[in-house]
Each structure stands twice: as C-alpha cells, then as structure tokens.
Structure 1
C-alpha cells in the first residue's frame, strides 16, 4: 500500500514532471482531479488523475499484476467513467514498479468480442534513469529503473536529493525514495545511503507510519470480532474502518465485555 501512496504523492505534487516524462509536453495548465468517480469509489491509493490542457492523464501504479477485476478491464472502465464525467480525451498509463514476467505486464489493451480498448504500459525496470534523475518528482522512481548497479543508482539519487533547496520538498521526496527503494534494495543498505533523519521529518512519512498502525489495529479488531460474533455486517465493517487508531484500540479493549452484536452497534453509535 505504501508504495502506491508514495507514487500518488509524487504525481499529485509534481504533476509537471510526470507530464514531461509521459506526454513529452511542457504546460502550466495542469490540475489534479479528485480520485473519485460518480458511480462508485475507485482505488484512490494507487490512482491519480491530472487534467492536462484539454485531456485527462490517468496514472495507475502497480507492484502486482494480479487484480480483481483484471487491469485491462479496469482501464476500460475508468476510461469510460472519465469520458462521461469530463468529456475529454483520456491518456492512460499503467506504471509497473517491480519486475515481473506476468503477461499482464506486457498487455496494452482490453479485448472481447465487441470491444477493444488500448492504454499505455510502463515497465520501470526497462526505463533509462536519465530523465528520472533530472526531475525532482521522478527521483524516487529512478532507483527502480534500468541499472546494473541499483546501489550506485541510489547513491546518485541521494546526491540529487541534497540539491533540492526547499526543505519540505526535500523531506517528502526523500521519504518516497526510501519507501520505493525497498522494492529493490535491502533496508540496511537504504539507510546507509539515504539520510534517515530527513525522511522521518517528512509529513508524508509520518502519514505512512500512522496508516501502518491503523491497518494493524483494524486487522486485530476485525479478527477479534469475527471470533466473537462470526461474519460482521458490511455496514458495521465500514463504520469500523472509519475509526482512528486510538478508537480502534479502545474498541479492542471494550469488545471483551460485549455479549451481542447489539453491544457493538451501540458502541459505534
């Protein structure tokens, strides 16, 4: 999850860098669009939508080619929804972060008996690192690009990080670099090359840590509830997912005294 969030963070804070890379254009007319469509919520953790001039740039970041529904169908679905909502041409890019030989990684269209829909696929491990090293918003992705020595590549990224003058921007980019480098390098090596203190000062890094705590607390409470009451109603599950870490921890303590699902509903109320 944190890998997707890191990419989303970068795309939405450095949209010009991504537009320059993927579309080969320079424009000041870029606006980040909300990552929700009318029909139902989408996977906001891995998807970014940018309005670039008179078209929509849809970016989807993936570490795993397996998904339900499959990626090709999902790209068709998103394209139709975006056209319906914004009445603009849609440029779609699925960006695979981690090397894979799965056929989906090499698939660029959805096809059935009556429909053909095409989209773009980027396999980062095949990309030249040059453009990534020259754009701050792409720097964290550089370590996943083509290289005989990922360590040397990360060292070059670290040098570029030190050149970012804005402290807040440097912290955010460093945090994303540390997270994404974990897809290719060992944690100890990453810590020895990157300045961990800079990463940890980033608000984005703190959000990721908090999210990890929330995921762990949610999993723990869900397991306890299932053991006590069996399958929980979907509406109740949604209410539980919206709880903060502290609220989940309190629920974990209080549910030991619950004797029926009604007690849980009253607590949530």
Structure 2
C-alpha cells in the first residue's frame, strides 16, 4: 500500500520529484519496468523516470532488506544494456524510521565489482522541504519535525490551497496513507476528511492494485500445484503472458 502510494506520486508529480532528487525541474516520462526485462512483481516498489539526458531510478522501501544493494546494481546493469550512453541516478528512499544499519548501505561490492547509489531516510529530511512541492506534501508527516500531527495539519492546509478537486483528493489520500506509518488512524481521520480520501484516484488505484496482487498470489499457488498456464489464466483472469512471467519466477 505504501509503495503503491509512492509510485502514484512519482508518476503523477514527476517534476516535483525531479526538483527534489535531481535539483532541477525537468520533464520526466515513466520508463516501464518491462523495458528493462523486470518482472512486474519485483517492480512493485520502484519506478523509473526518464528524460532526454538521464534515467531516475527511485526505490521506495518501508523497511530495509538485505538484497537492496544487489537489486540496485541489477537495475543499473539492465538499464545499461538498454542504453549504454544514458546515465542513471539511483535513489533508495526509506519511509519508516528504523535503527537498522541496512538503511545506511549505499553500495554493493562483490569481488572486483563495486556499485554505489544514494539513500534518503525520510525522517532525516526536514518536513518543511516536502511542503514546498505539491507532489511531495504526503511525505511531510514522515519528515523531521517536532510534532508529526501538527505537520500533517500543515500538509492538509497546504493541500486545501490547490484548486483542482481531483488533485486535492489524491494528495489528501496519499497524505493519509503515508501518515499511517507515523500516526494512529484516529488522529489521521481527525485531520483529513475520510470521504474525500476514499473518492480519490490514488485510493481507488491502490484498491485495484491490491486485487491484482491477490490474483498473482493465487496464480502462483496454482502454478506450484502443477496447473497449466492456460488453466491458471482462465481461473484468475490474468493473461497468458502474465502467468508465463509468474512461472519464470518459480523456475
């Protein structure tokens, strides 16, 4: 849920992410993971944004994982295979505060191979930074501040200044979802209107994505039980191609 929300924000407010992570406002288009031969299940927590000059790879993580450094290297190699001339900026963004040393890993080393990437720990970023850009407002409650509840109120006030109702609803929903990593639901719904959040595109898309994930999990179980690709596709509603990709994960 948190990863899906972050992906939605990066897709729809790419210019704000470029200003934050690249230090410049540039037009970015989403690069589909399939263009790098990435399985859709593995791609849930990441997004690739591409300009004429470079690729921005953002990896969102609620909690650290041991394999993140290797995954970052893997994505870089795949992007290089696609276009050896285009540089790639890679940033791992940790959402939830933790004392794990894994969130301080910024490189992968294996024998003579060494690859570096950037890491951002949201709780070390000033909350005021996120309030400057509409697409980053939902991160404010996770940023560094004296009072996360008061920061969420400021975020809500900032969203209310946005004129487009759909954008307002999407940012309120995203703010409420991400604030759940820091605040109780009772506090969140006291500050944000639940009815507006539930009508937003981001809220509905997350529900839809949840259904797709459930279908994939069921399909994987069917494949483990030995059902044919055609039978799994018929039983889950997934396409033959999607089931074949899932089957490759089991091989």
TM range (shorter): 0.7 to 0.9
Aligned-partner SS, 2:82: helix
- Following superposition, the deviation at residue 211 of structure 1 comes to 3.9
CA shift digits 1:2-23 (9 cap, x unpaired): 1000000000110110010111
**Aligned equivalent of 2:17:** 18
**Aligned equivalent of 1:100:** 98
Higher RCO (CA-CA < 8 Å; seq separation 6+) = 2
**Aligned equivalent of 2:243:** none
CA shift digits 1:164-216 (9 cap, x unpaired): 11111111111111111111110111000001121111122122234445656
Aligned match of 2:34 in 36, 48, 54? Answer: 36
Aligned-partner SS, 2:204: helix
Q: What is the TM-score normalised by the length of structure 1?
A: 0.79
Aligned match of 2:88 in 87, 90, 95? Answer: 90
Assess, with a 3 A threshold, how the Cα gap between structure 1 residues 238 and 85 changes in structure 2: closer, same or farther. Answer: farther
**Aligned equivalent of 2:53:** 54
**1:243 aligned onto 2:242:** no
Assess, with a 3 A threshold, how the Cα gap between structure 1 residues 222 and 85 changes in structure 2: closer, same or farther. Answer: closer
CA shift digits 1:234-255 (9 cap, x unpaired): 75596378538xxxxxxxxxxx
Aligned-partner SS, 2:115: strand
**Aligned equivalent of 1:257:** none
Aligned-partner SS, 1:155: helix
**Aligned equivalent of 1:76:** 73
Assess, with a 3 A threshold, how the Cα gap between structure 1 residues 134 and 114 changes in structure 2: closer, same or farther. Answer: same
Show the 5 A alignment for 1:160-239.
160-212=158-210, 231-233=224-226, 236=229, 239=233
Distance of 1:208 and 1:192 partners within structure 2: 22
Aligned-partner SS, 1:117: strand
* RMSD of aligned alpha carbons: 2.5
**Aligned equivalent of 1:114:** 112
CA shift digits 1:218-246 (9 cap, x unpaired): 76x689x88xxx951375596378538xx
Aligned match of 2:149 in 148, 151, 155? Answer: 151
Which of 120-129 and 192-201 deviates more?
Answer: 192-201
Distance of 2:132 and 2:232 partners within structure 1: 43
Q: What is the TM-score normalised by the length of structure 2?
A: 0.85
Greater Rg by CA: 1
**Aligned equivalent of 2:248:** none
Distance of 1:101 and 1:241 partners within structure 2: 44
Q: Where does structure 1 lack aligned partners over 5 or more consecutive residues?
A: 245-269
Q: Where does structure 2 lack aligned partners over 5 or more consecutive residues?
A: 239-251
